[in-house]
């Protein structure tokens, strides 16, 4: 993949990039409707493909929060046309890397020394480039290390980038402005945390220590003395990403083992720590030679406050869905039903949300769940498509915590589906009164 020699860092440069992309998309629409004059039956597939290509190219060159949103959208199969999902999925694994000289300058600015002054060896070509930073291989005292280096200007451009992404989000997501503002505010808060690598190192040490007794999971050792605000140094973990792993045609037993490790990792955090690794895209995990799950990124952590955790997880664990009044009370606490709703609206949202939670909760209801079942995911995606078309859901509902908790759990379900794993879901259950 061709390296980038520069990255737009100022608000003006990044804004110009978005404007240029907007013109390209406008040109795609003109081309589409010109063709449609001569072929009225023409569908939007080519238009979606052209738009997805232009938007992804622009976001991948901008990196940072712009590319991170593409990554998040690629995990939500209900939101975007297939062309966008296919294109944006690239951001889960790789993006165009920055050139060696630019990375060395960034490293030197952050730690005060060039990498060759600190490490015995430092590879200036990245092994992996993602949305916020890229990874380089280094050696020190015979130990192989992974050095994650943040792209220049990423942290400073989050707020302005999100404002520039809004017009694309309006068109792609169909959200109301109020709903989009809630979404953007929560995303901005998490992204600001993700660009603070000192915070990530502290959390990585804290969470890997808390999760160290989970079966079949490994974490790298982190080195605060060789890390900083925009640099993280950790042990190198050898392994395959999910797609590479699946191409090796692993046994069902091994896929179940990795799936179980993922399930335990997420549900231990949600129910025992009340805070969770909220970035479950496949690029953050490796499957090692000794058949363990390597967790290599703790940048995005979502804390689950009691006033969200209790009503939400009570719905999936305490038989509350069988009690209409208790279910409505929980929906009210979660802002899914408003005080101002009419009786007819209460009944409508009660039925709609009860159906949604019943689907979401299905893996929790039995001690073993088979994530290879196509009908479960068909129902999930069909329900998502159904409510996306309902005018009643254009009004924002639900507390902000849903954004990352839904992303976490549906992201987990999606990886388990790709593994076709059969999982013991009774290992870590919700703790509710």
Is residue 260 a part of any domain in this protein? Answer: yes
Residue 167 lies in a domain: no
Q: Are 259 and 422 in contact (CB under 8 A)?
A: yes
Q: Coil, helix or strand for 304? A: coil
Query: What's the length of the chain?
Result: 433
Q: Tell whether 156 is covered by a domain.
A: no
Domain tally, the chain:
1
Q: Which of 87-91, 190-194, 247-251, 253-257 has the lowest mean pLDDT?
A: 87-91
Residue 275 covered by a domain: yes
Q: Does residue 198 sit within a domain? A: no
- CA gap 260, 229 in Å, rounded: 34
Half-sphere exposure of 182 (CA within 13 A, CB side): 14
> Is 388 inside a domain boundary?
yes
Query: What kind and span of H or E run contains 138?
Result: strand 133-140
Tell which residue, 345, 359, 364, 373, has the closest CA to residue 78: 359
Question: Is residue 72 classed as helix, strand or coil in its secondary structure?
Answer: helix
The pLDDT value recorded for residue 200 is 93
Global pTM reads 0.77
Identify which of 126, 136, 55 has the alpha carbon closest to the alpha carbon of residue 96: 126
Alpha carbon distance 281, 404 (integer Å):
13
Classify residue 62: in a domain, yes or no: no
Cβ atoms of residues 93 and 125 within 8 Å: no
**Domain residue limits at 372:** 238-433
Query: How far is Cα 218 from Cα 216, in angstroms, rounded to an integer?
Result: 7
Low-confidence winner among 31-45, 92-106, 283-297 (lowest mean pLDDT): 31-45
For the segment 220-249, the average pLDDT, to the nearest whole number, is 95
**Distance from C-alpha of 234 to C-alpha of 240, rounded to nearest angstrom:** 18
φ/ψ of 422, rounded to 5, equals -105, 120
Distance CA 238, CA 234 (A): 12
* Residue 265 domain-assigned (yes or no): yes
Mean pLDDT of 348-376: 92
**Ranges of H-type helices in 195-251:** 197-210, 242-247
């Amino acid at each position: 993949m061709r390296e980038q020699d520069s990255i737009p860092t100022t608000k003006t440069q990044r804004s110009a990039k978005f404007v240029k992309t907007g013109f390209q998309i406008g040109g795609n629409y003109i081309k589409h409707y010109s063709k449609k004059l001569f072929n009225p039956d023409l569908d939007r597939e080519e238009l979606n493909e052209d738009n997805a290509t232009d938007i992804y190219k622009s976001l991948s060159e901008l990196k940072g929060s712009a590319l991170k949103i593409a990554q998040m959208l690629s995990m939500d199969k209900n939101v975007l046309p297939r062309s966008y999902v296919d294109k944006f999925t690239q951001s889960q694994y790789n993006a165009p890397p920055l050139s060696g000289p630019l990375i060395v300058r960034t490293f030197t600015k952050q730690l005060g020394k060039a990498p060759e002054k600190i490490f015995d060896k430092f590879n200036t070509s990245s092994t992996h480039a993602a949305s916020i930073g890229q990874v380089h291989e280094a050696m020190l005292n015979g130990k192989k290390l992974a050095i994650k280096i943040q792209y220049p200007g990423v942290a400073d451009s989050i707020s302005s980038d999100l404002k520039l992404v809004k017009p694309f989000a309006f068109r792609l997501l169909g959200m109301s402005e109020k709903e989009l503002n809630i979404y953007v505010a929560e995303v901005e808060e998490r992204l600001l945390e993700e660009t603070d690598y000192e915070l990530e190192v502290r959390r990585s040490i804290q969470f890997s220590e808390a999760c160290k007794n989970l079966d079949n999971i490994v974490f790298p050792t982190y080195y605060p003395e060789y890390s900083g605000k925009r640099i993280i140094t950790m042990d190198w973990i050898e392994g395959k990403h999910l797609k590479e792993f699946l191409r090796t045609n692993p046994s069902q037993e091994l896929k179940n083992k990795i799936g179980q490790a993922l399930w335990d990792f997420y549900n231990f955090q949600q129910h025992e720590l009340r805070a969770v690794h909220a970035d479950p895209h496949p690029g953050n995990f490796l499957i090692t030679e000794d058949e363990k799950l390597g967790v290599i990124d703790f940048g995005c952590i979502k804390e689950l406050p009691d006033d969200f955790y209790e009503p939400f997880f009570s719905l999936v664990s305490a038989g509350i869905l069988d009690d209409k009044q208790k279910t409505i009370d929980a929906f009210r606490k979660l802002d899914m039903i408003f005080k101002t709703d009419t009786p007819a609206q209460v009944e409508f949202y009660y039925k709609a949300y009860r159906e949604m939670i019943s689907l979401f909760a299905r893996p929790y209801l039995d001690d073993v769940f088979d994530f290879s079942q196509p009908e479960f995911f068909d129902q999930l995606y069909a329900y998502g498509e159904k409510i996306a078309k309902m005018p009643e859901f254009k009004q924002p509902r639900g507390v902000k915590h849903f954004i990352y908790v839904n992303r976490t759990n549906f992201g987990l379900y999606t990886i388990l589906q790709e593994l076709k794993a059969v999982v013991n879901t009774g290992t870590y259950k919700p703790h509710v009164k």
